[in-house]
Structure 1
């Protein structure tokens, strides 16, 4: 295992032979038995080891375990159509499904590009042999210190946090100065304040003067999974005295203990942990601290992301043995023949191969990042250190690093492409959005405070919707946190854009924001959010179980023409006069639009049709059942069983390519008030407009906003 040359088993090699002979990228069967995969792993096959590390043997629970061979399959697909001036790149995806772990996709990249082959020379030094097998060793600390130093020197405009100027400090903080003696103390904000000599010069006599000012020192934060609350330390009225007097490190949970030691060893004094700095038995304190949670993470010097592989997060800790052999954290070289143009034309490389899923596996797919609150924590934190199962990763607004840095160089060497978008957008969205906000705030002064929204300047809705799509996949313990848990992200966007926030959506891009759909039509049980949210907001629905049950229509990178206009909004916070990015009492939108009408018949070739008029005589679009998305499960069931359903809808926007119209399905409440019940996607070809009146043609073909004829209120 000390050689840069990589080992591949006979099955992996045969997959390439099959690909070469077929001349196509059809799916190829890989290992058919789990026992065969284990044998290949044992003899050192890199690809099989990467697969096995994500699918170790099933645990024997209660003495009953099925046969793994009967519950395990792998299908691989090879694509080699990415040619470059200086070489080729091949992508292999392995779809693994088994009964004892979640389905998993491994992506392996092979490249003959000069940029990648140069990495081979770095591998000749065998860096894996020099990597300490223990995460949190002095070597790990040295790497982190070098990343911090580099960031402070090179990313001053991007990564300089306000606390470096002493601008903000949490209400309570943990003092880790005496961690070397085995104790940590709870301090108040005032106790942490220090005096700083500004050292200004007297302009009259040109002599230095000493002026003292009170400032706050830098502090760190921790993102972690709670797991069983009874197994982690908490600040309560009964434990406050003990925490202030000093709590022994060996009484802290492993994650808290390691985070404390880590911050202390790096030379910093203060660390903020939610469960130890917010009273857990006081609703009043929690609400007050929740309001400034965004400031806590935004102003922290660095955030520690505790990605624990343990079943019980409270027992995982940060410092541990690397779970995989260090050699498999690095790429390898192989001279296997791969078809690049035709079955008769093989390229024998040398190919540099690496695990292209490493960032996705260890960070983006980690259980920690399924927590709704962590989306905001990660978005707002300028610098993050991820402790994973195999190594420490660094992430700031300017760069990423890891202890096996050759790996990061390969993974991040390519731009985000369409085929990678779904997997990569989670990590891409966080920092790209922050950088865009920083750039936009810098431009505001040049424009003297005038904002330019979404056309020819300003922040594209792509950045907000990318973050929102990530947030929608996460879980929250309480429905009431749904809007609160991203209020810090909202405020950052609002400062940079000047746009009006509308209960999870934005006024200037409302036609994008309304295009969310529930997954009730796919069998997810969807209910109304127990905490108030207007029907038109994605926050109004929740899945029974885990997940939000909501996703966005993926059109926000396409050319879209809006067909609605907001004329007034009435967003009332709870309590009235409070923060409209958090809990709400009521929310209404007055929207100028052209109402349309739909009819659905089960016995028709095109079962759904949209009509211009209320009498349903002028049809201008068709839709099918699979393009109808009701918000609630009971509505889906009713729709599927009914012979004929008729209703009112509001066209939202049209997508230029494909002549596709998106419309909200509405339920009449009273007067001009309507409630959203779903969304439908309708095809409207040019021929459908031939019998329209001139007024309707102007609206549909030109999308003229001044042709909107009526105003309704969405509640």
Structure 2
């Protein structure tokens, strides 16, 4: 293989050169035999190697590999266009095989100056200098450089001087003696006593702050639990041993490596949930859950243990890189690609890279399917990800990896791709945090006066982005649905002054109500055993894995409210406690237009009426469906020819959709949510609707609200 030029097989070269003035997906075949893919991988084809690394052959117990050719397909989507001062070719490969999850790999070729500059860095052949072992002294040097750069360049963004050292967890692991093979559990007072007595070792970092109560710096760890019986836990029986000192070789591999990593970087304290919260005390767990927002928000840095894919007992953080280090870097090629609308060929040289590297190694990690990790990622100012191939750094000021040429190319796309992929890949975490930091600074400058959405505050889009990620994750206990999001809710509340309503927000309730159960997708959904009001997404739970909830895709579109909240009564459990966590009851009074519907399953026709007798029709909507919140109701009404009931219009999305909330009367003017319907308004002549309807759609429902109801 010639370097820095890479190798592409003939099939991959043709996939980049087949542009014919239009986009394709699923119509252009790539390797259709797994054996052909393996052959191309063996001769050093970059693209085939990247594909193969995601679906290596599955071995039988006898060690024999089954021929998977009949169970393997690749198709691709091709796009060529202008980018900056050059051109770009993007190919997204869709890979399907029976022994691994389906996935997509996006490879980009570019001739822009921005990308070509990366070529000059490749001339020095940096892959030859990259240690093949994650956790080596080279890895530590990289992390120390990233930390120094962050502390120097992101002082106002990544750590406010007034916040440094403002909080310390109730319990912490003291790793000062890790070099002697022992780690200790300490209380907060003990850690402070060590510092005040001058017993803190010289390498322990202390923040510079004018605060009187400055606590020591500490790190945190995010990890998958896996089998709880195989990881170390703090409980009444193990407390004495942990305080007396537990040998490193008795810790699970992930915990051991995290301790050594923090110690070798020159820090003293590490917080791990299973070792710093009593696992046999519900009371202690609830108290500590309330402080989780501070544990991660004030952590100096969070370690994300992505590489142990099953549980921390089966593998540590330090390991051999899974792939050949050469394939962590870009390649160059001189293939001819036709440029659309210019009727010419461009033979490059093109620089190509794996544009899915962040999605594959970070966002697609099994750890990030855990509901609690959403909060941990959002609240952590800095994070170091231990992946299968390298270390990644993420802070509010930027990202790095050990093959920094590669992450630089990916970062350029994160900035310039103003599309839905940003939200899908979880980029909203840091964007939301930065927005909150800005709003807090504005609040402070205005003497504590809050701004709400209508005054230019934080857009509900940011909450919707995080909630979309969160509801796609799994929780071991459905009772944690609101608790595991509590820390993020507190941050948003502090920045907006808005009222939190069981997973939704008062100022954008119409936005928050746009969720649907997955009853249509075959998932069995039932009422959550832990209380949440019917109008909250937290009120439902899937039988098995998943949340059972999806949010409607209204990405950055104009959403106009048709309801108004007049009062709320949110009672925490216990009363007087934290209203972002467990709840005892929740009611909201809303001013709205109570109307009546008649739905025909065939041909999916929704009729809305002003009166209960259904004599005055608002309008008719075809191709409209009702999604009921609970599976039992959905199944009971699946074969019904006509469904009738009560509903309220909650919002309109541009001039395309009307969303109505399907209700069931509890008593008097109290109603509970039982479903939602999206009425398609595209192509309708508003002039053909009733005067009442035109008042809603044209003049605005907020000026025509007719009644007050209570949602429970």
Unaligned runs of 5+ in 2: 198-209
1:562-573 to 2 correspondences below 5 Å: 562-573=561-572
For structure 1, which segment, 283-292 or 45-54, has the greater mean C-alpha deviation from structure 2 after superposition?
Answer: 283-292
What secondary structure is seen at the aligned counterpart in 1 of 2:556? coil
Could you tell me whether the CA contact under 8 Å between 1:620 and 1:688 is conserved in 2? Answer: no
Is 1:39–2:39 an aligned residue pair? yes
Separation in structure 2 between the aligned mates of residue 163 and residue 265 of structure 1, nearest angstrom: 27
Q: Secondary structure at 1:268's aligned position in 2?
A: coil
Cα displacement (A) at 1:228: 0.8
The Cα shift of 1:63 comes to 7.6
Aligned to 1:639: 637
**CA 1:314–1:424 in 2, change beyond 3 Å: closer, same or farther?**
farther
Bigger drift between 570-579 and 307-316 goes to 307-316
- The answer on whether the counterparts of 1:108 and 1:357 sit within 8 Å (CA) in structure 2 is yes
How far apart are residue 628 of structure 1 and its match?
A: 2.3
TM-score (norm 2): 0.94
* Partner deviation per Cα, 1:20-58 (whole Å, 9 max, x = no partner): 467653531111111111111001000000000111111
Which whole-Å CA distance do the structure 1 matches of 2:2 and 2:251 have between them? 40
In structure 2, relative to structure 1, the CA distance for the partners of 1:419 and 1:633 (3 Å cut) is: farther
Tell me the distance in 1 between the aligned counterparts of 2:631 and 2:214.
Answer: 54
Aligned partners of 1:2 and 1:327 also within 8 Å: no
Which residue in the other structure is 1:207 paired with?
none
Partner in structure 2 of residue 52 of structure 1: 52
Q: Secondary structure at the match of 1:499?
A: coil
Corresponding position of 1:200: none
How far apart are residue 195 of structure 1 and its match? 5.1
Moved more, 5-14 or 222-231: 5-14
Query: Is the CA contact 2:309–2:366 (under 8 Å) kept in the aligned structure 1?
Result: no
3-state SS of paired residue (2:427): helix
Q: Quick check: 1:416–1:424 contact (8 Å CA) kept in 2?
A: no
Q: CA deviation at 1:429?
A: 0.7
Contact 1:620 / 1:689 at 8 angstroms: preserved in 2?
no
Structure 1 counterpart of 2:658: 661
How far has the Cα of 1:196 moved from its partner? 6.5
| 1:228/1:340 CA distance change after superposition, 3 Å | same
Contact 2:308 2:317 in 1 (8 A): no
Q: Do 1:162 and 1:168's aligned partners in 2 also have CA atoms closer than 8 Å? A: no
How many Å separate the matches in 1 of 2:602 and 2:480? 44
Distance 1:162 1:248, change over 3 A: farther
Change (3 A) 1:602 1:463: closer
Q: Gaps (5+ residues) in structure 1?
A: 198-210
Distance 1:212 1:560 in 2: 44
Alignment of 1:66-145 (within 5 A): 67-80=67-80, 82-145=81-144
Q: How does 1:81-480 map to 2 (within 5 A)?
A: 82-160=81-159, 165-193=164-192, 215-341=214-340, 345-415=344-414, 420-422=419-421, 424-480=423-479
Cα contact 1:58–1:100 (8 A) shared by 2: yes
What count of residue pairs does the alignment treat as equivalent?
A: 698
- The residue number in structure 1 matching 2:29 is 29
Decide whether aligned partners of structure 1 residues 459 and 168 sit closer, same or farther in structure 2, where only a CA change above 3 A counts: same
How do residues 520-669 of structure 1 correspond to structure 2 at under 5 angstroms?
520-604=519-603, 606-624=604-622, 627-658=625-656, 660-669=657-666
Report SS of the residue matched to 2:482: helix
TM-score (structure 1 length as normaliser): 0.94
Aligned mates of 2:376, 2:211 — CA distance in 1: 33
Counterparts of 1:142 and 1:196 in 2: how far apart (Å)? 30
Instruction: State the secondary structure of the residue aligned to 1:485.
Output: helix
Does the 8 Å CA contact 2:257/2:317 hold for their aligned counterparts? yes
* Alpha-carbon distance in 2 for matches of 1:100, 1:653: 44
CA contact (8 A) 2:254 2:308 kept: no
- Paired with 2:211 and 2:480, the residues of 1 have a C-alpha distance of 42
Which secondary structure state, in structure 2, belongs to the residue aligned with residue 449 of structure 1?
coil
Cα displacement (A) at 1:155? 0.5
Query: Aligned partners of 1:164 and 1:680: how far apart in 2?
Result: 46
RMSD: 2.2
Q: Please tell me whether the aligned partners of residues 596 and 649 of structure 1 are also in contact (alpha carbons under 8 angstroms).
A: yes
